[in-house]
Chain A
Amino acid sequence: MELFLAEKGIYFLTLLLLGVGLAGIIVCSNYMKKLICMNIMQVAVIFFFLCLGQKAGGTIPVAMDSMINAADYINPLPHGLMLTAIVVSLGTTGVGLALLYRIKDRYGSIEEKDIIEREREKK
């Protein structure tokens, strides 16, 4: 059991984090909270990718003259991909916040209940 947790337990934890984000998106009725939960989901995906890049006995991916084997360094590919993913998530968060401003300006609230009420009043 301990060996199993050491080898594959981290997948369970990242999926738990993904589940927390997903549940938040479904349950919360405040759009700001939904945006925060979307960020939590992004973090879970980033963790999942970084887990795949881990190597036992590997060091940071900066090449040194004394070590030339590929087994001496951890996998740089997930780190490179996730570096760009983090920065792009900043852009998507900015766009999400701007859309929240627009919603607040139009409906006077970012609660889902109030917005649905407003829509019904119009009809």
Chain B
Amino acid sequence: MRKVFSVIVICVALIVPFAMFEVMPQIGDPNSAPNSHVSVHYIENTQSIANSPNMVTSVIVDFRAFDTLLETTVMFLAGVCVMIILAGVYKTKKRVIDPGESKMLRVRSGEKVFRSINKDVIITLLQPMILVYAVYVLFHGEVSLGGGFQAGALIGTVLLLDAMAVPDKRNFPNITKGTSAMIAGIGTFIYATAGILTLIGGGLFLEYEKFPWNVPLLEQHSIGILMVEIGVTLGVAGTIVTIMNVLLEKVKFDK
């Protein structure tokens, strides 16, 4: 019954676009509806208003900054939610499943011989490079490709590699789940602080021209974008590390 139902759903979903094909815009048409109204304003004014050649960055952290503030808050809340859901009373020891006979088949599991050059050497070499690239992406997100979300994901990836590739050997200090959730919260707070500072300067929330310090107008946009991006980076990296830490607490690697 379920399979028949799913087939019906898929057929309907594939027939509907044939009926709607006249309405949908052509791929690559410069005059189609999604390419013509507000996006032209964003493209033409990205340097004169937002002082940021990268249009994607200027759209998400300048023209639509309020939207991104709430997205970052959603990320932070997701991390906190994972912590709350798994903050139960059950013990980790119960969850370990005895490998039993299958352990006999894996002759070299956990031995030093089983370690590869990939795990021992290459990951240690790669981690600083990824970190440098993350910092580059963060501070260049305004003028070239990149941005806060990507930098946060890269930093999260480094810590995830560190924790998961070789579990008993850590290159970075171990961050507990409370600390990483706090980092995510600080990131979201930096973002909100940018808005509060513009309120102090007498403008609207996240209106970057009204920062209380006295610098040229376009510079203020750059400062605002950089501040917001640092906040987003901390928020995303903290959330990834929080989710990873909480999930890893419930896992025991068999040795």
Contacts and interface: CB of A to CB of B under 8 A. Distances in A.
A31 interface: no
Contact of B88 (A6, A8, A105): A105
A71 interface: yes
A57 B30 CA distance: 9
Contact of A56 (B28, B44, B147): B28
A80 to B, nearest CB: 4
A61 B86 contact: no
Contacts of B21: 8, 11
- Dominant secondary structure of chain A at its interface with chain B: helix
A16 B14 contact: yes
B109 interface: no
Interface string A79-92: 11001101110111
Interface of A: 6-8, 10-12, 15-16, 18-20, 22-23, 26-27, 51-58, 60-64, 68, 70-71, 73, 75-80, 83-84, 86-88, 90-92, 94-95, 97-99, 101-102, 105
28 contacts: A7-B28, A8-B26, A10-B27, A11-B17, A26-B6, A26-B9, A27-B2, A27-B6, A53-B34, A54-B28, A56-B30, A62-B55, A63-B43, A63-B46, A63-B55, A70-B43, A76-B59, A77-B59, A83-B60, A84-B60, A87-B152, A87-B153, A90-B75, A90-B239, A97-B82, A101-B85, A102-B86, A102-B88
